[in-house]
Amino acid sequence: MSRFLRIRADANARIGTGHLMRCLALAQGWKARGGQATFITACESDGLQQRLSDQGFHVITLKQSHPEPADWEITLQTLRTHPGAWVVLDGYHFDPGYQRQIKEAGHRLLVIDDTAHLDHYYADVVLNQNINAEQLHYSCEPYTRLLLGTRYVLLRSEFLTWQRWKRKIPDVARNILVTLGGSDPDNVTFKVIQALQQVEVDGLEAVVVVGGSSPHYEELQSAIRDSRFAICLKRNAPNMPELMAWADAAVSAGGSTSWELAFMGLPNVILVLAENQREIAEGLDASGIALNLGWYAEISELAFAQTLKTLISNPTRRRAMSEEGRQLVDGSGTDLVVSVMAEEANTVLPMDRLQVRCARFQDAELLWQWANDPTVRANSFRPEPILLDGHIRWYREKLASPDTRIWILELDQVPVAQIRYDRVHADTAEIAFSVVPDYRGRELGIRALVLTSGMACRELGVKRLKGVVFSSNEVSVRTFAKAGFERVGQERVSGRLCHIFVRECSRNIGEVHD
């Protein structure tokens, strides 16, 4: 696969740091397999940018994000340095138009998305690592692969070293970790500190973690000075796994930190700080992994204190929550996602090994053998075997016809696929292609379409190219879609339900949607 990964994700006081931090986990997994990753980011935190750089990743900073034109201009300029590189988009502002531009630039695309809020997704892979992911519906391309659920949770490498660690559950949970995300613009952390003062437990200690660019740091420092028990305030803590191992219980938001807490088997109380956290918090509560207190503004300090104290005093409940969390998030997600990306990429053959030539009469018997392959016949409108004499007559006529073009695709000078264009109307040519059985699954059909579509348009003088594919033929459906054809509808042809794909010759030919 391509060694190069380009990640487009942002972090600021409004959206927090979760998008960028889970992309860091993916970049670490990519690097562990010998790849190189570059972050393209509008990140307000110098500390977070430095963290990315310290781990060996190149960082390109943006002053403004999409839909500002400068975002795409800089991103495209970066992508051009490594054609065919994988691109990752993580952010709610990367709309279908932005995704499509990535694909039309010839890149493979992974979109990390928590809500299925867009009208359409053009990604090769859509990743939703949340507990409710499988309940959502994604409108996407026929070739899109969906990775849904907590088995795909992206965990940073510093967590994975704790995979075999076993948590001890004390009778009383005296060590409390408070982590409400990298931004916390409404300073809910202050409210939690105030509520903790009402928890009557001897020997209580707390560590409060805030983001590196928190605007409330001085106010929080003042609050912990007045605390009735020991509270340690940490900014942009680099050792979160150690802090989670130290803690007996946690208070968190409903974002990506929830999956880190589950992996570490740390029982926690969730306060919902953003609308996109509601379903996550509810799902974790229903699974017995966390206690969801709901929207932060609707819970009183007293009610919060009572809930936390109940959890602190109930080791049986905390043990069950810890075990459920470790089962839900086992730490294999990052490796699974990188494996899928590698699997998707390894199907593509290098373009420099492929050649296209015009079919010759000497190819007649070879094409006859290919045409009688059982899979080819099963996906043909006339499934009965083809006799050689009849094929020779038909083939001779096709080669001589001004309405037909046939090309052979060769890999290292070995014929591996054929593609035929027949002008069926003055402005339309229909397509038929096949791939040798030993070379299927390596996207040769896509390459055949890309390499010959422009020639077919010019030589046949048509305005559009058309593919008619049985609805049951998923491979050909994906092939036309990934080659940039648009699915315009369905028709019954010879009694079979078919998808109709079209590409206008006026569009740039030669852009693989891979």
Rounded CA-CA distance 66/77 in Å is 15
Within a domain: 436: yes
Do 403 and 471 share a structural domain?
yes
Is residue 336 a part of any domain in this protein?
A: no
Whether residues 373 and 296 fall in one domain: no
- The count of domains in the chain is 3
Helix (H, G, I), strand (E, B) or coil at 7: strand
pTM over 0.75: no
Domain interval for residue 101: 4-154
The answer on 212 and 132 residing in a single domain is no
Q: Is residue 513 part of a domain?
A: no
Closest CA to 334 of 266, 270, 258, 260: 260
151/130 Cα distance (integer angstroms): 9
Secondary structure of residue 85 in the 3-state scheme? coil
Domain boundary among 154, 174, 196: 154
Give the strand pairing for 58-61 and 108-112. Answer: unpaired
As beta bridge partners, residue 491 has 498
Asked if residue 145 and residue 93 are part of one domain, the reply reads yes
CA dihedral for 406, 410, 414, 418, sign (positive or negative): negative
- List beta partners, residue 501: 467, 487
Tokens found for residue 112: 């990390």
Same domain, 285 and 409: no
Tokens matching residue 60: 């390109």
Tokens of 134: 């499988």
Whether 18 and 62 share a structural domain: yes
Domain with residue 93: its CATH number is 3.40.50.11190
CA dist 328 to 160, 191, 251, 291, Å? 15, 30, 19, 16
Where residue 277 sits, what CATH number does that domain have?
3.40.50.2000
* Nearest Cα residue to 447 out of 408, 500, 487: 408
Q: Do 399 and 431 fall within a single domain?
A: yes
Whether the link from the prior residue into 67 is cis, omega within 30° of 0, is yes
Do the domain assignments include residue 451?
Answer: yes
Judge contact between 283 and 224, C-beta under 8 A: no
Taking phi over 0 as left and psi of -120 to 50 as alpha, with beta for the rest, 375 belongs to alpha
Q: How far apart are CA 255 and CA 260, in angstroms?
A: 10
pLDDT at 458: 95
Residue type, 321: M
Same domain, 195 and 293: yes
Q: Which residue has the tokens 């379903």?
A: 279
Q: What six digits make up the tokens of 38?
A: 């570059």
In a domain, 364, yes or no: yes
Q: What is the pLDDT of residue 514?
A: 43
Which CATH number belongs to the domain containing residue 364 in this structure?
A: 3.40.630.30
**pLDDT below 70 — which residues of the chain?**
1-2, 182, 213, 345-352, 507-514
Q: What is the 3-state secondary structure (H, E, C) of 211-252?
A: CCCCCCHHHHHHHHHCCCCEEEEEECCCCHHHHHHHCCEEEE
- Amino acid 513: pLDDT: 45
Distance of alpha carbon 159 from alpha carbon 330, whole angstroms: 11
Same domain, 488 and 401: yes
Contact call for residues 56 and 35 (beta carbons, < 8 A): no
- State residue 381's pLDDT score: 85
- Residue 512 is predicted with a pLDDT of 46
CA distances from 279 to 152, 389, 497 (A): 18, 65, 39
Together in a domain, 187 and 82: no
- At 139 the pLDDT is 93
Amino acid at 466: K
Boundary of a domain, candidates 154, 176, 211: 154
Whether 45 maps to a domain, the answer reads yes
Identify whether 339 is part of a domain. no
* Residues 190, 223 contacting (CB under 8 angstroms): yes
**Residue 43, helix vs strand vs coil:** strand
- pLDDT tens figures, 42-94: 998 888 899 999 999 999 999 989 999 999 999 999 998 887 789 999 999 99
Say if residue 148 is in the same domain as residue 176: no
* Residue 330 belongs to some domain of the structure: no
- Token digits of residue 265: 């088997």
Q: What three-state secondary structure class fits 87?
A: strand
H or E element at residue 368: helix 364-371
Q: Report the Cα–Cα distance between both ends of the chain, in Å, rounded.
A: 12
Which of 154, 183, 204 marks a domain boundary?
A: 154
The reply to whether 97 and 183 lie within a common domain is no
Cα dihedral 378/380/384/388 (nearest 10): -120
φ, ψ at 408 (rounded to 5°): -110, 135
Question: CA triplet 399, 404, 407: central angle to 5 degrees?
Answer: 70
